[in-house]
Amino acid sequence: MEKINVEGRPIEIFKPGEVIWPEAGLSKLDYINYLLDISPYLIPHTKDRLLMIWLYPHGINGKKIEKRSLPASAPEWVNCAMYKEKQRILLNDPATLVWAANYGALEFHVPFDRYTKENFPLELVFDLDPSENNSFDLVLEVALALKALLDSLNLISIPRTSGSTGMQIFVPISADYTFEETRQINTFIAEYFQEKMPGKLTLERVVEKRGNKLYFDYLQLWKGRTMPAVYSVRAKPKATIAAPVTWGEVEEGFRPTDFTILNIKRRIQEKGNLFAPVTTEKREQSLEDILSFINKNQA
């Protein structure tokens, strides 16, 4: 056991030498040190959003356990909020982040809204999920086509890897639009892409019905649903990260396995926090024009 002090909170790390990612050679202590390094960039995304953690008690190749409620064993200083008669974890500070990792959380997932302003998402998000037979080049192709459309709507977008096999495109917005309104926009854009690229992508949510097409997920953006927090590690062999990228890198091409615990700190030092327009330097983009256009055409 090893004790570390995080902002005045002493935390005893259980099994610090336990290897979590054997292929990458990373231990639990390596993981916690990574989280401490990355906390100034991760926590602005999770702040005041009701956290869901994924536990892998039998290793990263075992089944995951999703946990949303605050466990009874949590220290009294862990950030939390009462929601629907349950105490929910709020990942608002580094000590809570380290406590959660020590508890067993390998992945951090958050909803699209803050509990302080429920039902008003902070971003539009499109999730590009390839089938097993898709090349990642198709993901990059669809992402660039989506960027072109969003540019035409005067909306700034931030691409990132999912940390798994796909990509997500974030569009920061002012938190003035309901989930119903953002669903209108996501549906409009998704249906446009289905018409534009029918042989390459699908809107089918059932995996078995997608065939070999890329799934253009526009439905995940909804009440209570979640996505991995930016810079969260994923339970994948190489300890890959949900890493923001530049559109130039999307054009040049890369693979999700390019971004891991081992290189993300240096990457931020070199490129800065590419997710800042969604978090610390939030772009409060308006959706009024596109909503007016959609409503006018539907009428």
In order along its 299 residues, the chain shows pLDDT tens digits of 788 999 999 999 999 999 999 999 999 999 999 999 999 999 999 999 999 999 999 999 999 999 999 999 999 999 999 999 999 999 999 999 999 999 999 999 999 999 999 999 999 999 999 988 788 999 999 999 999 999 999 999 999 999 999 999 999 999 999 999 999 999 999 999 999 999 999 999 888 889 889 999 999 999 999 999 999 999 999 999 999 999 999 999 999 999 999 999 999 999 999 999 999 999 999 999 999 989 888 76
Same-domain status, 234 and 255 = yes
Final residue of a structural domain among 72, 87, 115:
115
Instruction: Write down the pLDDT at residue 207.
Output: 83
Closest of 118, 115, 124 to residue 49, by C-alpha = 115
Same-domain status, 162 and 90 = no
Phi-psi region of 226 (alpha: psi -120 to 50; beta: other; left: phi over 0): beta
Query: Are 100 and 108 within 8 A, CB to CB?
Result: yes
Instruction: Write down the pLDDT at residue 99.
Output: 97
At 33, list the tokens: 């040190």
User: Which CATH number fits the domain that encloses residue 102?
Assistant: 3.90.920.10
Same-domain status, 137 and 282 = yes
Instruction: Write down the pLDDT at residue 98.
Output: 98
Number of domains in the chain: 2
Same-domain status, 51 and 160 = no
Instruction: Write down the pLDDT at residue 23.
Output: 95
Same-domain status, 132 and 270 = yes
For the chain, first and last CA: distance in Å? 65
Domain that holds residue 190: 123-298
Task: Sort strands 65-67 and 9-13 into parallel, antiparallel or unpaired.
Answer: unpaired
Instruction: Write down the pLDDT at residue 135.
Output: 85
At 86, list the tokens: 């349950």
pTM of the model: 0.96
Final residue of a structural domain among 73, 94, 115:
115
Whole-angstrom CA distances from 34 to 15, 260, 288 are: 16, 10, 40
**CA 31/CA 21 separation, integer angstroms:** 9
Query: Are 149 and 218 within 8 A, CB to CB?
Result: no
Query: Are 241 and 264 within 8 A, CB to CB?
Result: yes
Same-domain status, 27 and 79 = yes
Same-domain status, 169 and 36 = no
Same-domain status, 161 and 24 = no
- For residue 281, what are the contacts with CB-CB under 8 A and spacing of at least 6? none
Same-domain status, 24 and 109 = yes
Same-domain status, 152 and 285 = yes
Final residue of a structural domain among 115, 150, 166:
115
Same-domain status, 102 and 239 = no
